[in-house]
Amino acid sequence: MTTIGVEEGYLLLDPVTGLPVPQADKVRAAAGVGRLVADREVHHELLQAQIEVAAPACDTLEEVAGHLLRLRHAVGVAAEEHGSRLAAGGTSPLRHGRPVAVTDEARYRAMVAQAPQLVAEQLVNGMHVHIAVPDREAGVQALNRIRVWLPTLTAMSANSPLWDGHDTGFASWRTVVFSRWPVSGMPPTFRDADDYDERVQGLMDAGLIADTGQLYWQARLSAGAPAVEVRCMDVQLGVDEAVMLAGSARALVDTALAQSRAGVPAPDRAPELLQATMWHAARHGLGDTLVDPGGALQRAGDVLYEFLRHVGPALDASGDTRQVTSLIHRLLQHGTGADRQRAALAAGGLRAVTDLIGVQSTMP
């Protein structure tokens, strides 16, 4: 069975004002004290009002759920001990008038020098899923085949409609914020692994990126063990939604690997069409239409059913069909995180939004 690892980024908010608070160093240190959390599982992020967790490679979605619950609990308790609240929002609903402190690491200092305003506005949090592949060549062939479905995953995961205290009109404003970096957006197609490596090296030789960590494509090869890293998703309100997306991403990559082995050619789609399709998904989430992989505008629900047909054999093979399918049906009934944030804003204002995105520190 293909292993999957999940990373989630969270905000640290003031529990009263809802503003970001720079407590990441203290929270990270406290999360590892007597809470069964390994140091490698809780990471710094760019800004001191953000923190990231990394669940280890898992065989099953049940394992993914267990690790994410454990990590959310540990970091949530540590945040409360330092007067802040862990929040699972793709963007911070409110921001200070002044920038949040940057984590004091060399690569982050270099990013401030490169793009100070982009760094100041990087209060965004995603969910990254690492899906194991046999080797880098297989990973590149998978990337070429999953590109057309990345906007669908973005729409399913949309959980960042608010910015500076108001509704942006986008379901995933995080997607827009992240698209402004030099190497971002939809990944290009590559002939093979050598082509991938040569083009990445060209970006570094030109001084446009410092390392492969600055490849902000919506999907890329992982830096460590052979894996595809799907990066197009907002962090999720709950663990169930995260599990749904992890299972969906694994099934998508497994389907792409099977197609590559069978000699099925990768879809040939114009880059401008894919980029506009991603923009449309970030704008509307599941609230309107989506552009399907063939380039046709359809109802969002119809595209999701097409997605389930596409990955169905892979879901069957991993034993995930029932769980992922039921969670996608629930998503269509109850809406995305963006839909729920907007409902909370209408019902109770920004305080209700802060309560909604706040991660519970008690275990279920």
Q: What dihedral angle (degrees, nearest 10) is formed by the CA atoms of 266, 271, 276, 277?
A: 0
Task: Record the pTM.
Answer: 0.96
Token pair listed for 102: 């940057």
In order, the DSSP letters of 280-336 are: HHHHHTTSSEEE-TTS-EEEHHHHHHHHHHHHHHHHHHHT-HHHHHHHHHHHHHH--
DSSP conformational letter for 147: G
Tally of CB atoms within 10 A around 339: 18
- SS3 of residue 133 by DSSP: coil
One digit per residue, the tens of pLDDT, for the chain of length 364 reads 799 999 999 999 999 999 999 999 999 988 875 556 666 899 989 999 999 999 999 999 999 999 999 999 999 999 999 999 999 999 999 998 778 999 999 989 999 999 999 999 999 999 999 999 999 999 999 999 999 999 999 999 999 999 999 999 999 999 999 999 999 999 999 999 999 999 999 999 999 999 999 999 999 999 888 999 999 999 999 999 999 999 999 999 999 999 999 999 999 999 999 999 999 999 999 999 999 999 999 999 999 999 999 999 999 999 999 999 999 999 999 999 999 999 999 999 999 999 999 997 554 4
Our CA angle for 132, 134, 139, nearest 5°, is 70
DSSP classification of residue 123: -
- The architecture of the domain spanning 4-357 is 2-Layer Sandwich (3.30)
Domain limits, the chain? 4-357
Quick one: pLDDT at residue 97?
78
Residue 35's pLDDT is 59
Residues 25 and 47: beta-carbon distance below 8 Å: no
Sign of the CA dihedral 341, 346, 347, 353?
positive
Rounded Cα distance between 120 and 135, Å, is 37
Distance CA 79, CA 22 (A): 11
